[in-house]
Structure 1
Amino acid sequence: MISQPLMPSNKDYHNENLKKQIAKCQPHSEVILTKQGLTDRDMSIVVDQAIFQRKCTELWLKQNSITSPGALILADALRHSIELKELYLYGNQISDIGSHSLAQALASEHSTLTRLSLGSNGITDEGARYFADMLKINRKLRHLLLSTNKIGDRGCLHLANALIYPNTTLERLDLDSNRAITDSSVKTLAAIMKINDNLMGLNVSGCTLSTSSKAQLHKVAKQKTYFSLWV
């Protein structure tokens, strides 16, 4: 059983600068809070001010200091927001524990998120399994970006099993720069491309694939129409 992240205590915590930044954003639009030094304690403010009050459609939280407790706060908001469509968390420390919280939220029938960016968050094969389980249920997510993590061949297999059957709605999967994905995953990746007609983009550049393995994937990709392969 996975450990549940502890919710940060926000008693007597204020971040007036963050509130002012969010207030400048147009309602029903994007809220960009990249590289703002935000922590888990700021996520309650972000949820209240950006997601629920401004009703943002895109939320950019890239390269902050958000960990699994912050992910839990965001995950709870995903269960109740119908406006938020894109969430960018690249370059935080979400980890497998935070991935579990987000995956559970996206498995909810009320989830409306279409793009989730979680590159460079220390996610391993275990986190990939959580997202694979989510993809077996979710019918709204179109782009799942998991680049520059610690996902290997086992995690790749988990995701493939979800995309070969039963998920038919994901359009793009980014696994680039996961160095633990090797030639052992070539048949798995090829199967995804052959069987899943809805997937239109697969990024595995920067993985540990040989020249011959890359050639095999290119051969399969050329047999598809309007398919983008980065390898």
Structure 2
Amino acid sequence: MLQWYIPLNHLKERHERRPLAPSDMHAVILQQCNILRLDHNYITSESINILDNSLHNDNTLIGSILYANRLSDKGAELLAEILNRNTTLIILWLDCNCISDEGVRFIANTLVHHNTTVQELCLKKNKLIGSLSVSYFIDIFQHNQSLTQLDMSNCSFKEEANQRLQDILN
């Protein structure tokens, strides 16, 4: 029976957390799960490279949950490159990371011009995402037909940016 997700709670240490080791990531990916849940594991851009190499020929993964890690704009850029080639991933949760407007630009460009499979994107609680990202989100809304859920709550939008988003959604 195929697992819905593989939680990596055994990698979380109560007092001393550590980055996810390459061997841990490879072992998890070899499980060929549908949803890869790597939350709270200090995933960085380097880990995304390992993920990319390991998933290159994987067509079973439909979701990647990477919330509460240390993903930066570089990690978002690498994920955008993965999404350029990946045709099976439909769920991507990147909430509670260190992604800023620049990282949103990379992901939005991919969702507008290349990827037609992602249906659910979560970027909430990325406090570095601000009003500059609004135009990227508007591009996604106007040009991407596959995305049905986009959570960008609790980011750092100014009131006028919130209003622009509300106007485009109504």
The alignment status of 1:45 with 2:24, answered yes or no, reads yes
Q: 1:188 to 1:104 in 2, by over 3 A?
A: farther
2:48 is the alignment partner of 1:71: yes
Match of 2:131 in 1: 153
Cα deviation, residue 156, structure 1: 2.1
- The percent identity for this pair of structures is 29
Question: What's 1:170 paired with?
Answer: 147
Pair 1:112-2:88 in alignment: yes
Instruction: Measure how far apart 1:43 and its partner are.
Output: 3.6
Higher radius of gyration, 1 or 2: 1
Higher relative contact order (CA 8 A, sep 6+): 2
Q: For 2:6, what is the secondary structure of its paired residue?
A: strand
In structure 2, the residue corresponding to 1:87 is in which secondary structure?
strand
1:78-113 deviations in whole A, cap 9, x for unaligned? 4321101111111110110111101110111x4311
Tell me the residue number matched to 1:30. Answer: 5
For 1:169-198, what per-residue CA distance to the aligned partner results, in whole angstroms no more than 9, with x for missing partners? Answer: 1010111111x21222235313542xxxxx
* TM value normalised by structure 1: 0.65
- Aligned-residue CA RMSD in angstroms? 1.9
- Alignment of 1:135 with 2:114, yes or no, is no
Q: Distance in 1 between matches of 2:52 and 2:141?
A: 23
Q: For residue 128 of structure 1, report the CA deviation from its aligned partner.
A: 0.5
- Counterpart amino acid of 1:30? Y
In 1, distance between residues paired with 2:56 and 2:138? 26
The letter of the residue matching 2:19 is T
Give, in whole Å, the separation in 2 of the partners of 1:139 and 1:31: 25
Deviation at 1:75, TM superposition (A): 2.9
The match for 2:66 is 89
From 57, 77, 90, give the equivalent of 2:34.
57
**How many residues are matched?**
163
Q: TM-score under structure 2 normalisation?
A: 0.86
SS in 1 for 2:92: strand
> Could you say what secondary structure the match of 1:83 adopts?
coil
Structure-2 change in CA distance of 1:124 and 1:116 (3 Å)? same
- Superposed CA offset, 1:28-86 (max 9, x none): 5421114624524x24432x3222x3211111111121211112221333432110111
1:225 matched residue in structure 2: none
Residue 161 of structure 1 aligns with an amino acid whose one-letter code is D
What is residue 229 of structure 1 aligned with on the other side?
A: none
Q: Runs of 5+ in structure 1 lacking a partner?
A: 1-25, 194-219, 221-231
Aligned AA for 2:99?
A: I
